[in-house]
Chain A
Amino acid sequence: MKKLYSKVVLILMVVFFAISMCTVVNATAEGMQVLNSNDKYLIYIDGLLGDTYYYAIEDNAGVNEDDLNWIAAKDDTEGNKVVEVTKEQANSYLWVMQNNEIIKTAEPINLEDAVTVEDVNEMKTLTNRIDVTIDTVTETTREDDVIRKVTQGTLEITDSKNATYSYQIVLLNDENSDYVQLEELVNKIGTEMNMYENIELTKQYNELWNNIIENAKLSKVKDNTIMQPEDAEDGTKYAVLLQKEEDGETTYDVQFLTSYKEVENTETTETVKKEVKTALPVTFDNPILFIALGVVLVAIVIVAIRMRKVSKKNEK
């Protein structure tokens, strides 16, 4: 009975151990980001980018710490301290030691969600891939005695004239959380970040961006101008997703804007000039032509009579 009990406990322990290992192997270790740079994998450890440390890589998580083979952290091209890993070392385990103290033990090495330098650079170009200008337009309408001027923001595409453009406007609210998160991400891009933060942000960007593009509902841009949302009030935040298609290439970009609306109502007071009439208009049909015709006809008759008289005299 005791032997049986021991066997069962042992089996259960092995099963639990195997399950936990599987779980550990598939998860990305906290505080570590991986960059795929020229077929090399560089692991950046949060908080240790500028510090000297040692690392060890083993296939087996259960290796005795005294048997670990310590290597000094390498430098990347910018002088950051990194762990260099090969493709073959995927799914291995990492130990990190600093000041003779082991600070990371058997951390699983997962290269699947590594980002490339190109990924990081692509993220950094967000909002600058399609040239645009932000401007305002004023529309003046008149209703009765009130002149209404409404000034609103517009987005004008100033990029290649040979491309076709499409867009989608999305309000930044709880219903569009991807865009809200993307805006926060874009705000971070402009700040100073180390490579660890850049890689972390790039992974977040990849996920958000793919989701946004996949669910985009685009409309064609007319006259290269996009008006702000019609019912947007002054200060409403919104995003404009842009698509550019030229020579078979498609580019996506986004702009984050705050709507601007200024309404000016002016009551007009028209000065009515009263024209004082001093006489009624001349509306007669001038008979001068008829009179002239009559005179001419009478003259013709008189001349004809005279001619006849003279002719008769000549005959005599």
Chain B
Amino acid sequence: MKNNKKLIGYKIFLILLIIIAIVIIVLIAKKYIGNQINEQKNDEIVEQVKQHEKTSEPIKYGNDSIIGIISIPKIKLEYPILDKTTKENMRISITRFSGGNVNENGNLALAGHNNYDGTMFGKNKQLVLGDKIYLTDLQKNTVEYEINSIFKTDPNDVSILETRDEDIKELTLITCTNGNKERLIIKAEEVKK
């Protein structure tokens, strides 16, 4: 009798666990399907930005605006760069965290999520010194940057945002690593022709 009651209890508990598992799986699927949909949308936006006429003003996009395009051929990355770093913007695309306009002299820092499914900056760990990054601005100028430094740092290390040389174009990519404990920093500099 006692055992029967126990068995019924376990059955109910098991059913509950299964339901929770299903819910979690659905949430995970929703997140990563959402990521894929976002990827498609970003591809479309990149195309639209490429077709847009030359302008010196940011292109409106939702509540924010686009200031350029980032492309890293090695990891098949191509995203529009949103003007401001906010929680919402970072869900959508790569964002400007600090610095001037795209392809201006000085250090431009871009932030992106390190997603498990490889979207955003999820594949940045595959990059090595010498790899190329391309930034296209709204005047349709594309500048080639070469990675010259890759390291991890503390989340409070804002020194990586400083401009080393006012006369050159620098690029800093920021993403999380080691959970949220560190930041993976990739530094690149303009390749002068």
Binding site for B on A (CB under 8 A): 275, 277-285, 287, 289-290, 292-293, 296-297, 299-300, 303-304, 306-307, 310-311, 313-314
Q: 5 nearest interchain CB pairs?
A: A284-B176, A283-B176, A284-B180, A281-B111, A307-B10
Smallest distance from the beta carbon of A292 to chain B beta carbons, Å? 5
- With the chains together, A296 CA to B10 CA distance in Å? 14
Smallest distance from the beta carbon of A302 to chain B beta carbons, Å? 9
In contact, A303 and B158 (Cβ under 8 angstroms)? no
Interface secondary structure of A, over-half rule:
helix
Q: Given A281-B85, A310-B3, are A290 and B155 neighbors across the interface (CB < 8 Å)?
A: no
Smallest distance from the beta carbon of A12 to chain B beta carbons, Å? 87
- Which B-chain residue is minimally distant from A144 (CB atoms)? B56
Q: Mark B1-24, 1 if CB is under 8 A from A, else 0.
A: 001101100110110011011001
In contact, B17 and A284 (Cβ under 8 angstroms)? no
Does B127 count as interface, using CB distance less than 8 angstroms? Answer: no
Does B90 count as interface, using CB distance less than 8 angstroms? Answer: yes
Contacts of A299 in B (CB 8 A): 17
* 11 A-B pairs whose Cβ atoms sit less than 8 Å apart in the complex: A275-B98, A281-B111, A283-B90, A284-B179, A285-B115, A285-B176, A292-B24, A293-B24, A299-B17, A303-B13, A307-B14
- Which B-chain residue is minimally distant from A142 (CB atoms)? B57
Q: How many residues of B contact A (CB 8 A)?
A: 44
In contact, A277 and B158 (Cβ under 8 angstroms)? yes
Contacts of B176 in A (CB 8 A): 282-285
Contacts of B114 in A (CB 8 A): 283-285
Smallest distance from the beta carbon of B102 to chain A beta carbons, Å? 18
Contacts of A293 in B (CB 8 A): 21, 24-25, 28
- With the chains together, A297 CA to B155 CA distance in Å? 33
Contacts of A278 in B (CB 8 A): 156, 158
- Which B-chain residue is minimally distant from A277 (CB atoms)? B158
In contact, A296 and B21 (Cβ under 8 angstroms)? yes
Q: Given A280-B158, A296-B21, are A303 and B180 neighbors across the interface (CB < 8 Å)?
A: no
